[in-house]
Structure 1
Amino acid sequence: MGITHFRKAAVSVSVALACCGQVSIVYAQDGADNTDNTEIIAVTGSRIKRQGDTPSPVQELNLEDLNQTGSVSLGEVLQELPSVGASLNSNGSAGTSHGSSSLNLRNLGENRSLVLVNGHRWVNGAGTRGFRDFVDLNTIPQAIVKRVEVLQDGATAIYGADAIAGVVNIYTHSDFVGTSAKAYYGQSSEGDRETVNVDLLWGQDVGESNIMFAASYADQKPIYTQDRELTAVPLNGLSDGTPEGLFRESGLAAVLGFPIPSAGITRDPGSNGNDLSSWRAVTGEDQFNRYYNNYVTGPNERYALYGQAIIPLDDRLNFRIEALYNKRESDQQFSSALSSVRGGSRGFMIANDPRVNPFGIPFSGSDFRHTSFMEENGYRVNAQEVETTRLGLGLDGELNIGDGWDWDTFLSYGKNKADFTSNNQVHLDKLALGLRACDTTGITADVTDLAAGCVPVNLFNTLTAEMVDYINFTGRDYNEAKQLDFTFNITGSLYSLPAGDLAVAAGIEYREEQGLDVPDSTINSDPRVNTYQTTSSSARTGTDGEYDLKEAYVEFVIPLLDGESWADKLELSLATRYSDYSTFGSTTNSKAGIVYAPVDGFTLRATWAEGFRAPSILELYEGQRQTFAPVLDPCSSNKSLVGCSSVPASYTQGETNVQLTTGGNRFLQPETSENWSYGMVYIPDFIEDFSVTLDWYDIEIDNTISIFGAQAILDLCATKGKNCEVITRSASGEIEDIIDGPVNLNSTKVSGVDMVMNYGLETEVGEWDFNLNISKLRDFEVSSTLSDGTVQVEDRLGVAMLREAYPEWRSSFSTNWSQGQWKVNYNLRHIGDTTETVDPGTPDEMDRHIGTVIYHNASVAYDIDDNLAVKLGINNIGDKQPPISLTNPNINFDQNTYNPVGRFMYLQVSYQM
């Protein structure tokens, strides 16, 4: 593919307001002398150390904030921020994170939110069928984290690609001395979701050096669907099929002596299938709950070791080393494999042999079909074992060219490797041979290996252990993501201006990204006995891709006014970054910001920024694969729709989980964006320890890379007759496959408002801290070009969709009280109401309201002595369950937006010296 060059250079300034609630800027306690008392620090969103405000809104979560609800996962904490949308977590089984945890800032997708650790990039995740194109927060142990800064602004010019929605900068402890240990146990009020966590942190000064070591273990047990009323039975109905099996064959009527309905015949549970009198016609009651014993929330076990050393080499030079090993074990549990045995195009037959067939006739016609959940073969369990290794080496120091000039360089190598095991699948070729009573007559392919140890398989009765051992199959995939990153930065003051120093930061970066996915060779092999596929796991092609880029940036902070009667402070920030991709050529992206404080304590500030995101390796090169997703077929209830004219009148959707074919798109183009933010900061002199911030943002992404979505494809075809060619149906109307891969949509437009208020109060009855954080989504529009060239605009504001929701309001409130040895915390999390559309484009179409959800959490801590403390907490005090969602069939709720655990109680004991 030809190289496309993107060259943009622009500088634009606007005056506005910005946010700094829970901000990582340290304010002077004595307002009379900010110059002497305000700490000079580097804040996420700028490479320049400075005093006071920055143009960009930054929120900080300190150690106390991170431990407020007793979470043992960093992702669980950050996903509850009001500015974060639906994110991947441990909820559900089908189509979920496969054990990973993501962060979806501004609802714009996890691959548009940049995650840094100590200001440096972290390797992308792995552990599903194909690696990830975002950072898996479960690879970063919470035990090593001291604080987190969240930049809610575009930062491509400062940090490079992927920072369209914002940046999360995770800081580890840098100068820890002593020993800290934590033991934690919790479980839900239903007696499940047992969680154990043990953390150890040790640090020591050795001369001028500091050495730190951390070890962490966390184990979270699952919750099963039948253990919650909400998820016990899928709202979209049960599946056709039973463990005893539903059979259809044209010759059965003559054998059994009664008419055979289109659904076929079955037998009662526990009856003898070899006795023909056990068989009867299928009725509407012969259905099966395939989601019984699936996970509402899956298990996740993590081990981590981390070492860090900061060693001064002389008065002006420091050496830093970071090393991490993290291991995660997770799995998803599904129903037993659904039989894929059919005649005709799938080539299965059942021999007329009493060992495999009691009816005395062969089963081989095009109408032959067997539907059964093969319970004897066991639950399908897809397990991941993910290992993360990372090594970072850095130098930083001062330049001997004047005061305030610093430099740093850092080299990191990170790797995520994952073994993916698919347990209790079915080897369909072995099953096909077993149904032939192991007779290889007529099979032209070499099946010597399959015939060795072949066991005749009788589907008409309970499978024996020997049959199961023969047909059972375990698939093994391997995938990995690698990253090599080198940075060099320098910052200092160029000139002394009347209002202050003209500060500059500049640097270079070189980065390599690699991704590899190796699917199981047996799953990918061509079938030799049947003509469908070799195993019950879907075949897919592998992925092997890489790219590199070279970058350079420069940033300026220009003080314009200081201490004037009408301008206590006026400061301009400018930045630009040049990037050269091996895949797409070069691009230049810029950013500008302004800070204006007319009086001390009141600040107006704004930013404008260009953003850029190149397609990821996964989006470009992912091999084609089959997966499944729940959909509601509009043609099932309304054949008069324009896109349903070829669907038979007798068709009614049965199974809602349909097959999708996905894969990379080598013709994708990069995304570009324009971000505006403007707001206010108010810290009045007459109220001690009080601040309020208000922040507006407006983001527009062009060439948005997105998967259209199976439900959207079906709805568009049915109602508009567009893109129907990507849907494959059988002669009966049943959906056999939907092709859905990444494409460049026209644009995505998002705007909203954030407000953060903090207040601290000292009284005779203790110290109080209050925090209110509110996020309002004002607009969310996605535009896409259809196959006929027309543009479709989708308004998602206030809409609930499959596994994602866009509520207009999200908020949180917390208060902390402490006195002497006691500490009490109360926390509230609020998710606003939404509306889902059920059966779009049909006469039964309706808008269904999903109400507001509020979670209440509380904890009490007591310091037994100077070293030992105990904490008791309850999350979700009211045992609030997620709201029912009809657009999220099978599990019945939006698993990426709501917490299904219910009331959860925990006890934590900590020791520090």
Structure 2
Amino acid sequence: MTLKTTKLRDAISFALVSGATVIAGTGVAFAQDSSEQQATTLDRIEVTGSRIRQASAETSQPVVVIDREELQKQGLTSVVDVLQNLTSAGSPAISRGDVLASGENVGGYYVDLRNLGASRTLILVNGKRLGSNTTGLQDLSQIPMSAIERVEVLKDGASSIYGSDAIAGVVNVITRSRFDGAEANVYFGQYSEGFGDITSGDFTLGASSDRGGVTMSVEYSKEEPIWARDVWYSKDGSLGPDFPGAGWSPVSQNGSFCDPCSPAAAARWWTLIPGMDPTDRASYQLHTAAFNANSNEAMMARTGIERRSIFVAGDFDVTDNVRFVADALYNHRTTTQTVAGYPFQSLAFGIPLSADSVFNPMPGEDLIIRRRLWEVPRTTESSLSTYRLTSAFEGVFDLGETSWNWDAGATWNRNEMVKVGRGDASLPALEAAMGPSFINGNNEAQCGTVDDPIALGINYGSGECTPWNPLLPFGVGGANSLSDPAVQAYLFPYYHDRGLTETTTYFANLAGTVVEMPAGPLGVAVGVEHRKEEGTFVPDAFAQAALHTGLPAATTAGQYSLDEVYLELNVPLLSGVAGAEELSINVASRYSDYDTFGDTINNKFGLTWRPVEGLLVRATYADGFRAPSIDNLYGGVGGSFESYIDPCGSTGPGNVAGGPACTAAGVPADYVQLGQGLVPCVQFPCQTPDQFLSGSNDKLTPEVSTSKTAGIVWSPEFVDGLDFSLDWYQVEIENLIASDSVSDILEDCYLRNIPERCSTIVRNPETGHITSLAFGLTNKGRLETEGWDFGVRYRMPETAVGQFGIDWQTSYISDYRVWANNNSDTVPSPSTSFAGTFRTRSNATLDWSYGDFGASWTSRYYSGMKEGCVSLDPGMCNNPDYIAPDVPDGYPLREVGSNTFHDVQFRWTAPWNATVALGANNVTDHRGPIMYTSPNNQFAYYGGFDMGRVIYMKYQQRF
């Protein structure tokens, strides 16, 4: 058979544009009439989850398809924001409200399916793996919305087809190709309170001929930061509007010293009386809660982000049966973060105000001081440049009476990161600035002594010094205050972190029909792949040497490579007989050989059965795995100030103070957990004043999983345009690569009585205060989740007032449990409805079109949540007798109700080939509940909820 050029083009184009038969969770899309599709000799398509082209987009696996039309109906500027609204999506990996987040992941947009973590969802672009950073996360925001034709979301494990990371599912972004003409889009959105401007603009150009085509998309988008002082749930402090002033830090911008300082729990702190002489001890008053700091006044509630992207895709028919295809991406992302000035405490770093400092109101005695460095907030600008290139040859050939498709090529992806930060003080400079000083002949404070002076200046490295008076409060200017430019220049250098990751992949695939069987063609696909991952992340030298007030960090550097081969078979068993319009099985296996941990084999089995026309029954069983990332293996050790609840505390929620495990650890029965400034905690979780250490583990082995799905799709013949779907899923992951949390370690040790989890906890032998704790990555425990997806879609017959479409999608989690370790007798911790793991998520969309006009209304429902109680108001603890298998003695809970957000859009197709859309996301300005545990957020609000109402305008011009 000789395949003409146009037939090859049409066949491949058909495979790229097919798939709009499934409706996304926030919009309605409908299949094209089959009469509109050009018939070719290759009338089969490739669907995400299989390498074999098939006659139907409906396979044994559940796949959601969001086409370009539906993307344009969203009032969103990133495809990840669209995917986050899917009911099967979990909590955001790093929400924009996580303003204290650090490292190379900040600013990225990551997809988390089934609440299994973003690192367990694989991202593909045109079927090829998207590059990741050293932590293994893949930033989907790199792909400009203007370049996307559709997005296919496979809600099932697929390691047998795609390899590592495809445990929860696969997101495959299909980009536009063979586009002719030009198209431009502009978007402007703003929160109804007048802040948080969102702007986006893009244009797409394309040209094609019988032998090839080129499509280019250019996009720019910017989201302004939002300040916590302007947002209803954060402006009053860390506990929200119900407790104004609660949670404010005693380490404030006023500055204070302790006298006496011991015992720590009863220390008395003194702060300067306004207008009084700071060198006179009598000028100080007790530092009460009235002087505490609301750090949210100087902190962002949502980080700012700016993106520039260029995507180019092209193809050329080398012969009638061979085509060259390539695509290239450049993306530059800048993220800005601002956090309140560092809460400096002498005790944390062993740097007192010297007894010989000219600013010491108690000369001859070193003063323990604390002072938030308010005048110089901590700012970070993270810039990430991404370069990606994919090129391949693909084609078709005949072998006897069967047809085969093949492709071979390479993908290269490079991420270059630079982070510039300021606001963490240099510890050597602090020690010098707060050390001995005197008044020189020019009536200036000078470091050193009269007999051994240190030259005045701002360059510590050159032996210079500028004294600082930490007891001058914010608002008091002049020489040696923290508002003094010389002091700021001396204490606060600029820090630079740099990261680089590179992914190189070579691949070859072959798929076709082995033989025609009575029930249809026996399909086969086989392929090989070689991939190499390299990565480094180098923190600033100050961070590596722990020479500033920020968190210490170590260099991440490493690489690994792997070779893989896979085989997939699609076997038709029955066709066109009573009770089996179609019955087929799909089996696949992939062998992966890593130079780090060794090899692994992962298999998949799928069943497709159509007992009658219009009814599909499907089921799968799949192995999966996730290989340790470069950061997992070679990430070094870092420090952090963790927030946690000490179960041995006598005031925290769910405590077991005086219990056997606490008593065995020598913790007094009346122990009160201490927070910043060694002040007793009044809110929980409470942030420690001591740095804890965490790190990587080069002995990690892969996570392994099994995924099971079963479901039905029914399109009743007696109601045209109506579709039902019901899918059950179960995922079990063992050998978890998990970053321990301090709270998990403490609960395992003291609540669940797991002795090995107590080994790194170090307490003060007298007070019981935790002074040190080491935690990090390990292969521990397992996770199981089970649930259901239900969907109803109905395209109503056209009426005199237009055509309506209804889409209702619901996901229900029936079980979500985590085992803390691998012991068979360990009791699992049920996590459904905690920290954003919603029992039920449901979206309902009503879409209307009439001539040139259209509108859509979407309601997004989230079921209630649970969290530990807040000790400030016992009355809010509405489930004080909560019992779970892992906490048989009880764990008091606070439960909050469900929430529904509404989105609306109106659109008009203008006569000059343009479309104008006006809309509002969260049009009713619904506010979710205050969540004191701050899930996925820095503040007392769930990070996945809308912050407020966003009103937007979109304009598209086609040429």
Show the 5 A alignment for 1:140-539: 140-206=143-209, 208-232=211-235, 233-235=237-239, 237-249=247-259, 262-269=267-274, 271-342=276-347, 346=350, 348-354=352-358, 356-363=359-366, 368-376=367-375, 378-401=376-399, 402-436=401-435, 437=437, 438-439=447-448, 449-450=460-461, 452-461=463-472, 462-463=481-482, 464-525=484-545, 533-539=546-552
Partner Cα separation in structure 2 for residue 59 and residue 769 of structure 1: 17
Tell me whether 1:785 sits opposite 2:791 in the alignment. no
Task: Tell me, yes or no, if the aligned pair for 1:636 and 1:653 is still in contact at 8 Å.
Answer: no
1:661 and 1:59 map into 2 onto residues whose CA distance is 42
How far 1:250 sits from its partner (Å)? 5.0
- TM-superposed deviation, 1:715: 2.8
Cα gap change, 1:328/1:268 in structure 2, threshold over 3 Å: closer, same or farther?
A: farther
Q: State the distance in 1 between where 2:923 and 2:333 align.
A: 30
3-state DSSP of counterpart to 1:792: coil
Partner of 1:860: 906
**Aligned mates of 2:852, 2:824 — CA distance in 1:** 68
Partner-residue secondary structure (3-state), 1:81? coil
Residue 316 (structure 1) shift: 0.6
- Post-superposition Cα deviations, 1:194-219, rounded to whole Å, max 9, x if no partner, equal 01100111111155211111111100
Q: Residue 353 of structure 2 contacts residue 360 of structure 2 at CA under 8 Å; is this kept in 1?
A: no
Distance 2:497 2:703 in 1: 31
Distance 1:82 1:219 in 2: 27
- Residue 761 of structure 2 corresponds to 727
Q: Within the alignment, does 1:765 sit opposite 2:801 as a pair?
A: yes
Q: From the superposition, tell whether residues 268 and 876 of structure 1 become closer, same or farther in structure 2 (CA, over 3 Å).
A: farther
SS at match of 1:61: strand
Within 1, Cα distance between the matches of 2:274 and 2:578?
88
Describe the SS at the equivalent of 1:405.
Answer: strand
User: Aligned residue for 2:949?
Assistant: 903
Q: Distance in 2 between matches of 1:549 and 1:442?
A: 62
Q: Per-residue deviation at 1:372?
A: 0.9
Measured after TM superposition, the shift of residue 342 of structure 1 is: 3.4
Deviation, 1:296, is 1.8
Q: 1:484, 1:414 → 2: CA distance?
A: 7
Give CA-to-partner distance per residue, 1:660-699, whole Å, 9 cap, x none: 4221112222111111111111112222122111111111
Match of 2:849 in 1: 818
Instruction: State the AA in 2 paired with 1:745.
Output: K
2:745 alignment partner, SS class = helix
Moved more, 867-876 or 832-841: 832-841
User: Separation in 1 of the partners of 2:287 and 2:30?
Assistant: 72
Deviations 1:872-891 (A, max 9, x none): 11110111223211222884
Offset of 1:301 from its aligned partner?
Answer: 0.5
Match of 1:543 among 547, 556, 562: 556
Contact kept? 1:105, 1:166, Cα under 8 Å: yes
Cα shift readout 1:32-54 (whole Å, capped 9, x = no counterpart): x9999995211001111111231
Aligned position for 1:530: none
Superposition deviation, residue 249 in structure 1 = 4.6
State how far apart, in whole Å, the 2-side matches of 1:519 and 1:424 are. Answer: 15
> Matches of residues 667-678 of structure 1 in structure 2 within 5 Å?
667-678=699-710
Q: CA deviation at 1:362?
A: 3.3
TM-score, with normalisation over the residues of structure 2? Answer: 0.85
Preserved contact between residue 503 and residue 557 of structure 1 (Cα < 8 Å): yes
Distance in 1 between the 2:641 and 2:862 partners?
A: 29
Which secondary structure state, in structure 2, belongs to the residue aligned with residue 65 of structure 1?
helix
Report the CA distance between 1:729 and its aligned residue. 4.0
Q: Determine which of 89, 99, 105 is the counterpart of 2:95.
A: 89
Show CA shifts across 1:436-475 (max 9, x none). 22339999xxx99546331122222233322222111221
Aligned 8 A contact 1:92 1:295 in 2? no
Aligned counterpart for 2:918 among listed residues 859, 869, 872: 872
Q: Using the TM superposition, name which of 767-776 and 742-751 deviates more.
A: 742-751
Q: CA deviation at 1:718?
A: 3.7
Note the C-alpha offset of 1:62. 0.7
Give the gaps of 5 or more residues in structure 2: 1-19, 240-245, 438-446, 473-480, 652-656, 677-685, 871-881
For 2:604, which of 591, 616, 632 is the aligned residue? 591
1:771, 1:752 → 2: CA distance?
Answer: 20
Aligned to 2:45: 41
Count the aligned residue pairs: 861
Partner of 2:594: 581
CA distance in 1: counterparts of 2:31 and 2:588, whole angstroms: 25
Question: Contact (CA 8 Å) 1:414, 1:484: kept in 2 or not?
Answer: yes
Give the conservation status (yes or no) of the 8 Å contact 1:785–1:792.
Answer: no
**2:295 is paired with a residue of what secondary structure?**
coil
- Aligned counterpart in structure 1 of residue 69 of structure 2, from 42, 61, 64: 64
Aligned residues of 2:21 and 2:31 also touching (Cα < 8 A): no
Aligned to 2:110: 102
Q: What does 1:547-586 align with in structure 2 at a 5 Å threshold?
A: 547-586=560-599
Q: How far 1:622 sits from its partner (Å)?
A: 1.1
Task: Pick from 788, 795, 802 the counterpart of residue 830 of structure 2.
Answer: 795
Per mean C-alpha deviation after superposition, the further-off stretch among 83-92 and 106-115 is 83-92
Across the aligned residues of Structure 1 and Structure 2, the Cα RMSD in angstroms comes to 3.0
Please tell me the residue identity of whatever aligns with 1:22: I
Give 1:897 deviation, angstroms. 2.9
Structure-1 residue corresponding to 2:243: none
Deviation at 1:26, TM superposition (A): 9.1
1:59 is displaced (CA, Å) by: 0.6
Letter in 2 for 1:265: W
Alpha-carbon distance between aligned partners in 1 of 2:536 and 2:727, rounded to the nearest angstrom: 41
Task: Provide, for residues 727-771 of structure 1, a one-character-per-residue CA deviation record: whole Å limited to 9, x for no partner.
Answer: 344565444443221222232111111112211122121122211
DSSP-derived class of the 1:307 partner: strand
Residue in 2 aligned with 1:635? 648
d(CA) in 1 for partners of 2:542, 2:100:
23
Q: How does 1:838-857 map onto structure 2 within 5 Å? A: 838=869, 845-857=891-903
The 5 A counterparts of 1:652-671 are 652-655=673-676, 656-658=686-688, 659-671=691-703
TM (norm. structure 1) is 0.89
The one-letter amino acid of 2:151's match is V
Deviations 1:619-644 (A, max 9, x none): 12211111233323333335424444
User: With CA pairs under 8 Å and 6+ residues apart, which has the higher RCO, 1 or 2?
Assistant: 1
